[in-house]
Chain A
């Protein structure tokens, strides 16, 4: 880049000539541009003024302020909430750690996470109204502790400099640990079992999305490879699975997973209903993932396979070292788009009776006579929450594309 700048320095005319030029060129260059600009400004003024006045004067946010715990974790027992705190602490530590090792995108996210925690800690109303003050104070202190953990993780990460593979393993291990913490152990005194029927809110939405994303990705890649396989049975099975699942709406799959599946299974085998929803969503997402990955596989030129064979790679080595890295890179936008869709599809779990974010919103509205008409506020809140997370995902996707785009042809 510096070379380019140096080469261009001698003769290149100035690229931009300040704000005034920009305004003239883009907003006021002709009389109809001027007209459109003025109309657009008027429109934006009216809309934004309307929204701002509504948000700050008309709207009544009491259903949300009084149900923060429900939105966060659903009916998860208050005395067991320390488990979720522990999970948040581990996640913060790992996020800081990854920032220390990887930098880049992770930094932006770790910082955003820390800022989010501080924001929660400084909310100007009780975090858990129906309880005594010590709990509220503890929660706030807890949320203030999390950014500190991020920083500790950062220092550790900079010091240890573990290879990236280890961090992925640590994340996976921490996920398993989190699942054990959340469910608890049957008959244990220190860690009693918490029924999944009590899970809800953001916690459940996140769990459904993370399990769906993490599990559907490898399954989807395998299905895509299977569909390209030269073994007829594998190919037939994968094609059949993909086409059948893609031809059925997610709602139907969730219904089948939660209502019809238990009818076929013997009495003794009862799969938890959150697990069933996770299974349904994973299989659904895997089929779409497979088609996305297949698109990437087909974009790999034949010369790459030939070069890989010519240096002595077998089929597995060719796939792992040459084909998949290029194929996946090519379809990052499609894959992340699908992750975003999956995240929003978690709301469909409402129809099989799971208390995810949207279901909590609905339940909160009906929980109090005075709140029944406050649906605008509640649904707007849920929508904004979803937007924050989905936008983060698409932002991460763009950063990832840039980071991995080096050396692309």
Chain B
């Protein structure tokens, strides 16, 4: 497997070797091997049911893999709870359906984990929350509840909540799929800014415009396997595999 050497990315931060997973009898992941370097932005695409969401969920152990190794920032993911907790606090995750805590205000959503997991004093957590809300462009929503915000605003709060833990890696699981078209841009803008700031990002998405413009590498999943991976210009201009061509023709011509 040939991998791009880029000057702006560093050492390996995520290493997956032959990762396999079954849901009962259904073989979702069939030997996934991939290495992601510090500061890299990787977009994962593929047809639904291809295992791409399941794969990024194995990286912070929301799903358990049954075979193979996943090593995140030097720590191997095993059943050891301390390892899992250590890894989860290094990885931020943004979900398709936002999953904000509806009983807490926007600020409380962002400060809860730093205060309870990182043991930050309240003042520090709140200062950081204000800075993050500025960064995602909604400082005026700090005291509202998630139910009072639009989808795009909720997703930006979710990004701020993940960033509050100062993660080294951010996982995005179809972050714009549940949004109305006019709100997709505001979320992608935040993600674009994050990518430029040097964050390591793995993004499962169908937003090919975002992929073309922002990412370092596109990984194409089908049937629980990595079919093809390449830098975006190469991926869109000269897809090598038949399945990739078929997929691209379907999503680019609709």
- Interface residues of A, Cβ cutoff 8 Å to B: 301, 303-304, 306-314, 317, 321-322, 325-326, 329, 406-409
Contact = CB atoms under 8 A, between A and B. Distances in A.
B102 A407 contact: yes
A379 B60 CA distance: 64
B97 interface: yes
A409 B92 CA distance: 24
25 contacts: A303-B95, A303-B97, A306-B62, A306-B93, A307-B158, A308-B101, A309-B60, A310-B91, A310-B92, A310-B162, A311-B92, A311-B113, A311-B162, A312-B85, A312-B89, A312-B113, A312-B165, A317-B116, A321-B116, A326-B102, A329-B103, A407-B104, A408-B147, A409-B102, A409-B147
Given A306-B62, A310-B95, A321-B112, 4 more contacts: A304-B101, A310-B88, A312-B88, A312-B117
Secondary structure class of chain A's binding surface, majority of residues: helix
How many chain B residues sit at the interface, stated as a range, is 20 to 34
Contacts of A321: 112, 116
B105 A307 contact: no
Interface of B: 60, 62, 81, 85, 88-89, 91-93, 95, 97, 99-105, 112-113, 116-117, 144-148, 158, 161-162, 165
Contacts of A326: 101-103
- The 10 residue pairs across chains A and B that have the minimum distance between CB atoms: A407-B145, A307-B99, A311-B113, A303-B99, A312-B89, A310-B93, A312-B117, A312-B88, A407-B147, A409-B102
Given A306-B99, A307-B101, A317 B162 contact: no
B1 to A, nearest CB: 29
Contacts of A311: 88, 92, 112-113, 117, 161-162, 165
A268 B138 CA distance: 68
Contacts of A304: 99, 101
A321 B145 CA distance: 16
Contacts of A408: 102-103, 145, 147
Contacts of B117: 311-313, 317
A407 B93 contact: no
Contacts of B147: 407-409
Contacts of A313: 113, 116-117
A179 to B, nearest CB: 34
B154 to A, nearest CB: 10
Q: Output the residue of A309, A311, A322, A329 with the most chain B CB within 10 A.
A: A311
A326 B100 CA distance: 12
Given A304-B99, A307-B95, A406 B145 contact: yes
Please indicate which of the listed interface residues B100, B148, B158 has the most CB atoms of chain A within 10 Å of its own CB: B100
Most buried by B among A307, A308, A312, A313: A312
A292 B162 CA distance: 33
A326 B85 CA distance: 24
Contacts of A325: 103
B103 A407 contact: yes
Contacts of B93: 306-307, 310
Contacts of A310: 60, 62, 88, 91-93, 95, 162
Contacts of A307: 93, 95, 99-101, 158
B99 A314 contact: no
A52 B136 CA distance: 67
A321 to B, nearest CB: 6
B101 to A, nearest CB: 6
Given A311-B162, A312-B88, A407-B148, A306 B95 contact: yes
Contact of B88 (A303, A309, A406): A309
B99 to A, nearest CB: 4
A310 B87 CA distance: 10
A304 B158 CA distance: 12
Contacts of B158: 307
A304 B112 CA distance: 14
Contacts of A308: 101
Nearest to B158: A307
Contacts of B116: 313, 317, 321
B158 to A, nearest CB: 8
| Residue of B81, B85, B116, B145 with highest tally of chain A CB at under 10 A | B116
A314 B102 contact: no
B72 to A, nearest CB: 13
